[in-house]
Amino acid sequence: MDYQYKEIEKKWQEFWAENQTYKVDNNSEKPKYYVLDMFPYPSGAGLHVGHPLGYIASDIFARYKRLKGFNVLHPMGYDSFGLPAEQYAIQTGQHPALTTEQNISTYRRQLDQIGFSFDWSREVRTSDPEYYKWTQWIFMQLFNSWYNLAAEKAESIEVLVNHFETKGSSGVKAVSDEDVLSFSAEEWNAFSEAQKQEELLKYRLTYLKESTVNWCAALGTVLANDEVKDGVSERGGYPVEQKKMMQWSMRITAYADRLLQGLDTIDWPEPLKEMQRNWIGKSTGASVKFPLEYGEGAIEVFTTRVDTIFGVSFLVIAPEHELAASLTTPEQKEEIESYITQTKKKSELDRMADTKTVSGAFTGSYALNPLDGTKIPVWIADYVLAGYGTGAVMAVPSGDQRDFLFAKHFNLPIIQILDGQQDIEHQADPTKEGKYINSGFINGLTYQEAIPALIAKLEELNAGKAKIQYRMRDAIFGRQRYWGEPVPVYFKDELPHLIEENELPLLLPEVDKYLPTETGEPPLGRATDWKYKGEAHYELSTMPGWAGSSWYWYRYMASPEDRKEDAFAPKAAIEYWKDVDLYIGGSEHATGHLLYSRFWNKFLKDLGYVVEEEPFKKLINQGMIQGRSNFVYRVLDEEGKGTNTFVSYNLRDEYKTTPLHVDVNIVENDVLDLDKFKKFRAEFENAEFILENGKYVCGVEVEKMSKSKFNVVNPDDIIERYGADTLRLYEMFLGPLEQSKPWNTNGIEGVFKFLRKFWKLFHNDKFELSISNEEPTKAEYKALHKIIRKVEEDIERFSFNTSVSSFMICVNELQDLKCNKRKILQDLVIVLAPYAPHISEELWSLLGNASGSLSYAQYPKFNPDYLVEDEFAYPISVNGKMRMNLNISLTLEAADIEKLVLSNEDVQKYLDGKTPKKVVVVKGRIVNIVI
């Protein structure tokens, strides 16, 4: 029987499912290995061929590790809360749970038919109440915790309460809001319960605070920065504005140093680690207070260059700064209000990215330099963000490019503060400059001398202090959406309180629409009589998409039996699996999911729920499989309008044309199927074609794979035509895992032919199984052990593409040797199994192995003796001209080699009866005969 991939793949997928082949035990004596994929959001479009790339790589590694004797946890689930399902619900009225379930069914079918070795008994869905119960539980632990800087860890809020009750606020070192109170134990104990809770909210690791957010009125929700592009929502293209709202936040900043230090302990791509370092953005400097010219208060700034304080010629505050309104004089009110209105239309990312535009407005007010009393004008500008640092900067045009451009644009003074200083465009490193001038008491000091002197003076005047600051801000944790985890909080006396743990999960209520209420409340505000114990209002925001994905790998550790226990994962399971050994996913999650996951992991470690500080030991970012777009060329008439005539690619320059994307699924080897094109769109039904050599050749361009470009390739179609094993091998064959590469079906035929050739090794010309039990030859052993070592080395270094090439070479060698020896082919099947599991399982079975599946066979042991060369093909030259190669044992000495060569019949023909004048033998290299 020829290679019947459809029957074979269906058979083994059913076998694996029925026998739960990949179900893993938490109590194995084998060493553990945990392989994890970033789980997908189940969109309605299903998978395209780019999606499985990382899954195939992780599956190869997981299968390989099983063969190497490891107890492998390789799970899969779905990140199933999200905005797309909610938007579809708004449009259709259908509950997001229904569309999510339908989408998951499609994903599951597609994943199963690719042949992944997932332990489906451990599947998770973030939208399942039995799962999000524990997401809510973790939120509650964060709410009931504070960060003790003295202990460098999170602790129960009760520890802090006890300190307040016995010692007051004295001696507390905590990550907290800036406006915490100072009080004695007596004063604390005299506070009302509401006052105590209000003060504790300033310390809790999750807390309510007014924050500037990206508000999209059309979607009725707050958007994350990465969901906003050029001032509009990425989904739908709706206007987004900056708005202040009371929001839940999490103090990820408490873990900033630990997040930085942890990067040095994990095996992640260096560019990804650098992205996290830059996002955290640790800066060492000073906090400085510039008192206002009139009235109480001051503008506080953070600067890494306190040595430039005498060069400050203006202050800039964010348009959202709390003092913006009070500092605006009546004369400047109209201009300031207009500027603030324009700023609201920009996202924070747009404001940070726009380095070329100079814009701002003068408030009309002044502050004073705390060291010399100089009057300093206060401006607002959108390049300063309210949520970063203090929302204000001191502008030193002689030391900063942006300040310099701002000063030039608005004709503000530029103060020279270093001797020999040039314009900012030519400013040298201040650490290598001369001494300060025009700088009060630090005149004549060097950079190294000025910094400590300035900080000491500011502290003496109570006008500043040394400070470490981070670019990273606390993570906003609320979304004004329906399809997300409800926050397990109710409000009493306008203060938040947790529900009881035994009341979890707090389920999503039913609503009549998935839109905000007419009064602007989030969709949960539409729920009828949704109150805590019939009285108190619940929190109406839901959790962000990253909540459920910040701990999901621990839920996988819990077996179906374990999940009956009252824990997010049993302690014994966590102690066994510990952490993820290999994590594969996209680099686009560097400053989102991967950062939040590390934060939550460290927090759970502080409270003793998990055992490892870092969740993911090794991480690999798979590259993107890009689309290979095809184009047809529409001929334009004299007025530039499109006709219904299309010219082939190589003839397009003879006409005036415009390119149009065409569905790649009606193109083969860049040749268009004309009949299918006419059915592609109704307007092309009567299309005419200008052909070349009787064919219509399409143009080609590599682009991102998307429906709008008609370049999406469905894996279902590839599997139907070539099989899942071909798809798996081909995705690896396209190139190195970490690199992006274009999808090109032109090469897939070669991979399919390889599998057919591999199948034929086991069969005779009549496709009957033909296996010999004879002892293999040395050449056959050599071919086998080369591939055993090559694949082992390639998999261990994640170089999957080179293994595929080596498989092809090995099969060609064995075919030339006419090898059908059991000892060779049975081991070869095991080596190929991680890459092409279906054909390997079938051949393993045909070879008479009764164990059922080869998934737990033993990977063949490499024997280097089979690769030791004891012969060499000596090039034989006569009078310097190479005539032939002779295989001669490497054990022979030069005299014996000379004798053997001269006695060879073919060599005798070249000698033509003459006696050589000289024979030069270079052992292991060459033999040269001179006549």
Rounded Cα–Cα distance for residues 25 and 41 (Å) = 27
Residue 517 is predicted with a pLDDT of: 86
Residue 425 is predicted with a pLDDT of: 44
Question: 715-722 and 96-114 are packed helices; what angle lies between their axes, rounded to 10 degrees?
Answer: 30
User: Does 429 score more than 60 pLDDT?
Assistant: no
3-state secondary structure of 794: helix
pLDDT tens digits for range 823-837: 999 999 999 999 999
Residue 433 is predicted with a pLDDT of: 57
Residue 855 is predicted with a pLDDT of: 95
Taking residues 256-283, report their average pLDDT: 97
Residue 84 is predicted with a pLDDT of: 86
Question: 96-114 and 52-67 are packed helices; what angle lies between their axes, rounded to 10 degrees?
Answer: 50
**Would you tell me how many other CB atoms lie within 10 Å of the CB of residue 637?**
10
3-state secondary structure 671-706: EECHHHHHHHCHHHCCCEEECECCECECEEEEECCC
Rounded Cα–Cα distance for residues 3 and 755 (Å) = 8
Which segment of 35-39, 433-437, 902-906 scores lowest on mean pLDDT? 433-437
pLDDT tens digits for range 52-75: 999 999 999 999 999 999 999 999
Tokens found for residue 243:
């708005």
User: Does 421 score more than 70 pLDDT?
Assistant: no
Which segment of 73-82, 140-149, 160-169, 845-854 scores lowest on mean pLDDT? 845-854
Q: How many residues does the chain have?
A: 931
Burial of 15 (0-12, 13-18, 19+ CB in 10 A): middle
pLDDT tens digits for range 617-642: 999 999 999 999 999 999 999 999 99
The percentage of residues in the chain with a pLDDT greater than 70, rounded to a whole number, is 98
Residue 426 is predicted with a pLDDT of: 40
Taking residues 678-706, report their average pLDDT: 95
pLDDT tens digits for range 500-514: 999 999 999 999 999
The percentage of residues in the chain with a pLDDT greater than 90, rounded to a whole number, is 79
pLDDT tens digits for range 596-609: 999 999 999 999 99
126 against 215, higher pLDDT: 126
What values do phi and psi take at 234, rounded to 5?
-60, -35
Q: Identify the band that residue 872 occupies on the pLDDT scale cut at 50, 70 and 90.
A: confident
Residue 313 is predicted with a pLDDT of: 95
Rounded Cα–Cα distance for residues 715 and 711 (Å) = 13
Residue 428 is predicted with a pLDDT of: 44
Q: Identify the band that residue 431 occupies on the pLDDT scale cut at 50, 70 and 90.
A: low
Pairing between β-strand 464-470 and β-strand 392-395 as defined by DSSP bridges = unpaired
423 against 645, higher pLDDT: 645
Rounded Cα–Cα distance for residues 762 and 845 (Å) = 12
Residue 167 is predicted with a pLDDT of: 97
Distances from the Cα of 447 to the Cαs of 305, 402, 430, 451, 670, in angstroms?
10, 22, 7, 7, 65
**Would you tell me how many other CB atoms lie within 10 Å of the CB of residue 462?**
9
Question: 778-796 and 52-67 are packed helices; what angle lies between their axes, rounded to 10 degrees?
Answer: 120
What values do phi and psi take at 30, rounded to 5?
-70, 155
pLDDT tens digits for range 752-787: 999 999 999 999 988 899 999 999 999 999 999 999
